[in-house]
Structure 1
C-alpha cells in the first residue's frame, strides 16, 4: 500500500480527537442503557398516581430486575457476535433493539408487556456492555486508553440523568418516547463509526485496517508500524480464547470478577432504581424527582472528571478511595434511617441527599468506570471478547439479585440494616483493592501481562486469517 512521505505536513503523530469522537458516538448505546436503568425511578410512581396501570411493590421489583436479568442472557453471545460480524455491525444491530424495546414499554396495557420490553432491553444492554468496552480498548492509543475507557460509564450516567429529567414530563408515554430518541440517534450515526483495526487484521482485511487507522489517528498518520504490531500481537496471541482457556488468565480473571462483585454489591443500582422512593422515605424537603435530578447531575459531573483523573492518579488509588468513601456513605444512610424510626430527624433530612450524592460522586470516579476499563487492560487482545463476556455476565447477574432482592431485604431486615450490609461489602472491597489489584496506568498490555505472570500469555495459535 502507498504511504505519504513524512514531511513537515505529514507527521507520524497520532491525533486524539477522532478517537474520542468514535468512542462518543459508539457509547450512545451506553447512554441508552442509562435511560433504561433509571427510567423505573420516575415511571413506577406515575402508574399508580395516574391510575393508568396499578403496579404493586413486587411487580415494580420485577420491572426493575428484568433489565439485568435480560442482560445476563445478552452477554453470553455478544463477544461471539462481535467477533463474527465485527464491532461496528454489532453496535448497529443493538441500536435497533434498544429503540424497538421502548414500544411495548410505552404503550403497555398490562404489566406483562412492560416485563417483555424490559427483558429484551436488558438483553441488548448486556450485549452493549460487552461490545463497547472491547471497541474502545481496540481503537485507543495507550496514552488515552484510560480516558476513552471511562466514556462508557460517563454516557451511562448521562443517560441516567436524562431519564430522571424525563420524569418532569409527568406522563409514562411521553417519558418513554423521550428516552427512545437516544437509540434512534445511535442508529443514525452508526454508519459514521470506523471498524476496529484489531478485528479487521484478525479477519485478514489489512487494507481496510489501514484506512480505519487513518480515520482514527489522522490523515497523515503512518500506519505501517501499528499494522505490523497488530499482526505480530495477533499471531503470537492466537485465536479467540474460549471460556475454558480463561483459566490460564487466572489472576486477571480473579481481579476483574472481584471488581465486578464489589461494584454491584456496593448497592449502587438499588440507589439508582429506587432513588425517588428512597428520598420520599427519607422525608427530604425537596421533591423526590428534583432530588433524583440533582443526584443525576452530580453523577455526570463526577464521571466526567474521572476521565481526567484516571490517567493522572492511577486506577488502584481511585478504586481504594472509591470503596472507602462508598462504605462511609452507606453506613451514614443506615444510621439516618435507624434513628428515623425512634427520633424526629426532620432537621437532618438533607443527610440522605448528601450521602446519596457523595456515594454517586465517588462511585463515578472509581468503581463505576474502572472495573470495565480493567478488562481491556488485563487481558490480551484474543482474550478480551471472552473475558468481557464472563465479567459482564457476573456484573449483570449480581445486579439482578441485588435489584430484585432489595425490596425483600427491606421487608425482612429494614432499610437501615440493608444499607449497613452494603457498607460492610464496600469495606471488604478496600481490602481486595489493596491486596489484589495492580496499577495499569500507562502500561502496555504486554507490560501488564509480565507484571501479572512474568511473561506474556501465548495460547496455541494459527495466526490471523488470510484474506480470500
Structure 2
C-alpha cells in the first residue's frame, strides 16, 4: 500500500495540474495568425471602396498588385525567420513581427498615396510570412505532447476567423474603420504577449536549463516534474546539432519532395486565394441572391466551421481519400461557376443566382477538410526528423504560388474572361485528382518506416525523438 501511494504521488507530480497556461499562451500567440487572415481578405472588403468619393483611384492592375504584395513580401522572410528565431528567441521574433502587422494598418487605411499602400502591404506580407513560421514553432514548443495537435488547429482557426472578421468589416463602407478594426488583433498581441514566457525548447538550446525549468512549471503546473521533459529537450537539441540539415539532403527524398511540392501546387492553383481575395467582387459580378457583403460573411462562417470539423475528420479518414475527394469536388465547383458566368452573358439567370454562393460555399468546405490541412500534415509524415526543417521550404513555395496566382488572375480575366479563368482552375484541380491517385501514398495509421519502404523500397535512417526510443532503435 505504501509503494502504491508513493507511486501515485510521484505520477501526480509528473502530470500537469492545468493546461490553462498552455491554452492561453497558444491563443495569444496565434493572434498573429488572426492578423494574417485579415490581411489576406482585406482586399475583398476594401478594393470595391476605391474609386468612390474621397478615395484613391485604383485600376484593376493596381488592385491586383495590392492583393498580391502580401504573399510576395511573405516569400522573402520564410527562410530567414527560422534562423532569426533560433538566435534571438521565439518570443522576441513574434513581438518584432507584430509591430509591422499593427502599424501597416494605419498606413493602408489613412495614407492617401498608392505608393505607401503598396509598401505597407509588402511589409505586412513580410511580417505575415515570418509569423507563419515562428508562431506555429512557438505554439508547438510550449504545448505538452498529448495536445501537440491543438496549436495547429488553433493556428488554422485563427486564420479563418481573421478572414471572416475582415469580411464582416465590409458593412462599415469605410476604409478608415476597416483598418482600425483590423488593427485590434495585433494591438492585443503587442499588449499581452510580453506576459507569455519564452519557449522552453529555445531556453534549453541556449543552455538556460534553470529558466527552462521555471517556464515548464508555468505552462505545466507548479507540481509538474520537469526532469523527464528537460532531458528529452536536451537530447533533441544535441540531435539537431549532430545532424545539421542541408538542402542537399533532399536528394534522398526526391519522391517525397515531388509529392509535397505537387500538393502545394494544386493547393494554391485550385483558386482558393482568388475566392478569398475577391469574394465580394465575385458576388457582385454574379448578381448573387444576397448582398455581396452578406454572402462573403456566410462564406467566412462556413470556412471557420469547416476548419474546426476538419480536425476530427482527418483522424478518421485516410489522407489520400480526403485529398482525392477534395480535388474532385473543387473541380466540380469551379466548372459550375465557370458555366454560370458563361451563360450569364446570354441568358437571364436571376432564378439561379444562388448557384455562385452554393458553389463557393461547397468549395470552401471541401478545401478546408482536404487540401487546406492535409499537405501540411504530410510534410511531417513523409520526411524524417533530420530534414523536416529543410522541408519547411514548402512554406516559401506556398507563398510564391499564392503570389503568382493572385497577381496573374486579373491578367487572365482580361485575356480570357472570368468564365474561362474559373474553368482553368477547375482543370488544374481535375489534374490534381490524377496526381493524388498516382503519386500520393496513404499515410494514416502507418509508421514512418513503412512509408519510407513504400516510397523508396528501403528505410532511411530516422533520428529518434528521445533517449529511450533511440536505445530501442539501436537494439533492433
Query: With structure 2 as the length reference, what TM-score do the two structures score?
Result: 0.87
The yes-or-no answer on 1:220 pairing with 2:195 is no
Shift of 1:84: 1.3
Partners of 1:386 and 1:102 in 2: how far apart? 33
Q: Which residue, out of 254, 261, 272, partners 2:276?
A: 272
1:455 and 1:234 map into 2 onto residues whose CA distance is 21
Q: Distance in 1 between matches of 2:385 and 2:196?
A: 20
Tell me how far apart the structure 2 counterparts of residues 163 and 260 of structure 1 sit (CA, whole Å): 25
Higher mean displacement: 92-101 or 217-226: 217-226
Cα distance between partner residues in 1 of 2:315 and 2:307: 13
Cα gap change, 1:317 to 1:231, in 2 (>3 Å): farther
Aligned residue in 2 for 1:79: 82
For 1:365, the equivalent position in structure 2 comes to 369
- Matches of 1:17 and 1:284, distance apart in 2: 44
TM-superposed deviation, 1:79: 1.2
Cα deviation 1:299-341 (Å, max 9, x = unaligned): 1111121233333435444333222221221111111112212
Distance 2:251 2:78 in 1: 19
Q: Could you tell me which residue of structure 1 aligns to residue 117 of structure 2?
A: 114
| 1:263 pairs with 2:240 | no
Aligned residue number for residue 462 of structure 1: none
Structure 1's 73 and 50: CA in aligned 2 closer, same or farther, altered over 3 A? Answer: same
SS where residue 286 of structure 1 aligns? coil
Q: Which moved more, 1:26-35 or 1:328-337?
A: 328-337
Q: CA deviation at 1:231?
A: 2.9
SS in structure 2 of the partner of residue 190 of structure 1? helix
| Residues 251, 352 of structure 1: alpha-carbon distance in 2 compared, 3 angstrom cutoff | same
Whole-angstrom CA distance in 2 between matches of 1:403 and 1:13? 48
**Once the two structures are superposed, what CA deviation does each residue of 1:125-170 show, in whole Å capped at 9, x if it has no partner?**
1111122233344444554434432322211110011111111111
CA distance in 2, matches of 1:431, 1:19: 41
1:25-49 Cα offsets, whole Å, 9 max, x none, are 2111110011001111111111212
- Matched pairs, number: 455
Tell me the equivalent position of 1:168.
Answer: 171
The 3 A distance-change label for structure 1 pair 156 and 317 is: same
Change (3 A) 1:450 1:199: farther
Aligned partner of 2:14 in structure 1 is 12
Q: Corresponding residue for 1:418?
A: 421
Q: Distance in 2 between matches of 1:132 and 1:382?
A: 21
For residue 344 of structure 1, the aligned residue among 348, 365, 380 is: 348
Q: Quick one: structure 1 residues 268 and 26, their matched pair in 2 at CA, closer, same or farther if it must change by over 3 Å?
A: same
Output the CA distance in 1 between the equivalents of 2:145 and 2:399. Answer: 28
2:43·2:277 contact (CA, 8 Å) conserved in 1? Answer: yes
After TM superposition, give the deviation of residue 424 of structure 1 in Å. 1.8
Q: How far apart, in 2, do the equivalents of 1:201 and 1:454 lie?
A: 31
Cα separation, 2, equivalents of 1:313 and 1:213: 35
Match of 1:324 among 328, 341, 348: 328
2-side partners of 1:24 and 1:313: how far apart? 28
Cα separation, 2, equivalents of 1:281 and 1:318: 32
Q: Which whole-Å CA distance do the structure 2 matches of 1:258 and 1:135 have between them?
A: 28
| 2-structure distance, mates of 1:206, 1:394 | 36
* Deviation at residue 89 of structure 1 after TM alignment: 1.6
Cα distance in 1 for partners of 2:88, 2:417 equals 48
Shift of 1:97: 1.6
Q: Give structure 2 stretches of 5+ with no counterpart.
A: 1-5, 465-476
Is 2:454 the counterpart of 1:454?
no
Q: Match of 1:64?
A: 67
What is the Cα-based RMSD across aligned positions, in Å? 2.7
- Larger RCO of the pair (alpha carbons < 8 Å, separation 6+): 1
- Given the superposition, is the C-alpha separation of residues 101 and 444 from structure 1 closer, same or farther in structure 2, using an over 3 Å criterion? farther
